[in-house]
A = this chain, B = another copy of it.
Amino acid sequence: MARARLQDVAEVAGVSMKTVSNVVRGYVHVSPATRAKVQRAIDDLDYRPNESGRSLATGRTGLLALAFSDISIPYYSELARCVSTLARDRGYRVLLEQTDGTLDAERAIVSTSEAGLVDGVLFQPSTLGSSEIARHRSDIPVVLLGEAQAPVSVDHVMIDNVAAAREVTRHLASLGARRIAFLGHERSALSPTSKVRLAGYQEGLEAEGLPLDMGLLVASDAVSSASADRAVTEALEAGLRFDGLVCRDDLAAIGAIHALGAAGVRVPDDVVVSGWDDVAMASFTQPGLTTVRPDMAALASTALGMLEQRIAGFDELGRHVLVGHEVVYRGSAPENLQR
């Protein structure tokens, strides 16, 4: 049996399509008798409105794209959970777009080759520069997430990365660390995320009167615990010594703790370690991870709110919003430490 259309319902109920449409969309000014009659026809025919027809008529799809490098990275999967839940509350569904952090895929996000698929885009770029983002198709609303430099024309939500990095760096220093390394940035072509966190790390060192030693910067091949593990192991084997370690993200910190343990270096006794993101696993390392926790709920809801305004037609300059963060203290760099 072919799928019933709005028109079929109208015929069976003996009313116009407009009336059926009103009932389907829950429009209030329909007489109870008519409504009942229509509802009956809907049930009899097992009618479901066709979204494509509706989208074409309204110009809306109720879909939002959520774009970032890799959903299997815990920060992104936790973000996706948060965004998806909040989006649903606002009547939207979420389309997943993975870029793998490649330039081509990131370009495709901001210069989509088709229209009418999503109403708006939430995008956390990994590599795409501000100027290219600025040239994005202006006809589809975009809100940027994360550390990338954002063009003035585009909305942007992030936490104060420099401040947070300064904070954790100074905290490690306050625990007595004097040779504080940084772990997890790219070997070449620094991501915006690494840039701002390194900047805060440097400021933290300065504030504590510690010298910046480029030899203490330990790069990693990928955003993964395995790469970080390898990087730390190699650094230790090459003779690098440090008593503090600021990690670009929790995955790096998890890899680092593993590598340090394998090398017989004790955390926090020999090295204090901080992470970034406070992913679920940060409570389950041995010891637990001191880490920067972004206010993800605020981040997601702020971004969604701005995106909704853009979809509704708001067309002013980009708004650049900072949401909060806090440092969560666990065993890897306790709030107070007796050495």
B-binding residues in A (CB < 8 A): 3, 48-53, 55-56, 59, 61, 63, 66, 70-72, 74, 76-78, 80-81, 84-85, 88, 93-98, 112-117, 139, 224-226, 229, 254-255, 258, 261, 280-281, 283-286
Chain B nearest CB, measured from A37 CB (Å): 20
With A72-B77, A139-B3 given, is the CB distance from A95 to B97 under 8 Å? no
Greatest chain B CB density within 10 A among A53, A88, A96 is at A96
Instruction: Check B283 against A226 for contact (C-beta < 8 Å).
Output: yes
Chain B nearest CB, measured from A226 CB (Å): 7
**Contacts of A96 on B, CB cut-off 8 Å?**
66, 80, 84, 93-96
Instruction: Check A225 against B280 for contact (C-beta < 8 Å).
Output: yes
With A255-B284, A258-B286 given, is the CB distance from A93 to B98 under 8 Å? no
**Contacts of A74 on B, CB cut-off 8 Å?**
72, 74, 77
Q: With A and B bound together, what is the CA distance between A53 and B52 in angstroms?
A: 8
A-B contact pairs, 10 of them (CB 8 A): A50-B56, A72-B78, A76-B77, A80-B96, A93-B96, A95-B96, A255-B284, A258-B286, A281-B281, A284-B285
Give the residue name and chain of the B residue nearest to A70 (CB). Answer: B81
Instruction: Check B63 against A52 for contact (C-beta < 8 Å).
Output: no
With A96-B94, A225-B283, A286-B286 given, is the CB distance from A71 to B49 under 8 Å? no
Give the residue name and chain of the B residue nearest to A229 (CB). Answer: B284
Instruction: Check B225 against A49 for contact (C-beta < 8 Å).
Output: no
